Amino acid sequence: MADMKINVNAVWADGVTGNGILKTENLDTKIAIPISLGGSGNGANPKEVLVSSVTTCYTATLTFVLESRKLPVLELTVNSEANISDNEFKITHYPQIVLSAEATEEQVQSAQRATEAADKGCEVGNLLKKADVKIEIQGKVSTK
């Protein structure tokens, strides 16, 4: 991996019940403490930001894998769900890939395999796995 430097700026106001702004070169979003923890809930909480980060990584990696396989992708959608408890932190990605109607069965199978390959290639997901976060993929490939 190439060297990379990322600068993040967070500005917060009004204590626990307030909120803040999180900024990077290409991100500008409101952040807050969840209502369940006494906060305002008026912004993304840290776990949402974390799950968003791994979803972004997975989606970008899947896009790269699909393109490198020269598959006729018409649409790509990834929904992710995190289940967090005292005993487990689990993220499930639900990629939906729509290939052109002319796609062969071999291309459909290649796209299905790509959903797993992207999981293995996602650096953010791999870091989370080292911290015992479970990540599962439940992909669906169709033609249109």
Domain edges within the chain: 1-44, 46-143
Average pLDDT, rounded, for the chain: 97
Residue ranges of the alpha helices (H) in the chain? 46-68, 105-121, 123-130
Q: Give how far Cα 116 sits from Cα of 14, 101, 110, 141, Å.
A: 43, 23, 10, 12
The pLDDT value recorded for residue 53 is: 97
> What is the layout of strands, in order, in the sheet containing 9-13?
9-13, 19-23, 28-31
User: 1-44, what's its fold?
Assistant: N-terminal domain of TfIIb (2.20.25)
User: 46-143, what's its fold?
Assistant: GMP Synthetase; Chain A, domain 3 (3.30.300)
The pLDDT value recorded for residue 19 is: 96
Average pLDDT (48-56) is 97
Residue 7 has pLDDT above 70, yes or no: yes
Q: Which residues pair with 136 in a beta bridge?
A: 92
Look at residues 134, 121, 130, 129 and name the one whose alpha carbon lies nearest to residue 88: 134
Residue 27 has pLDDT above 90, yes or no: yes
SS3 52: helix
The pLDDT value recorded for residue 131 is: 97
Going by pLDDT thresholds of 50, 70 and 90, the confidence category of residue 1 is: low
Number of Cβ within 10 Å of residue 29's Cβ equals 14
Average pLDDT (84-100) is 97
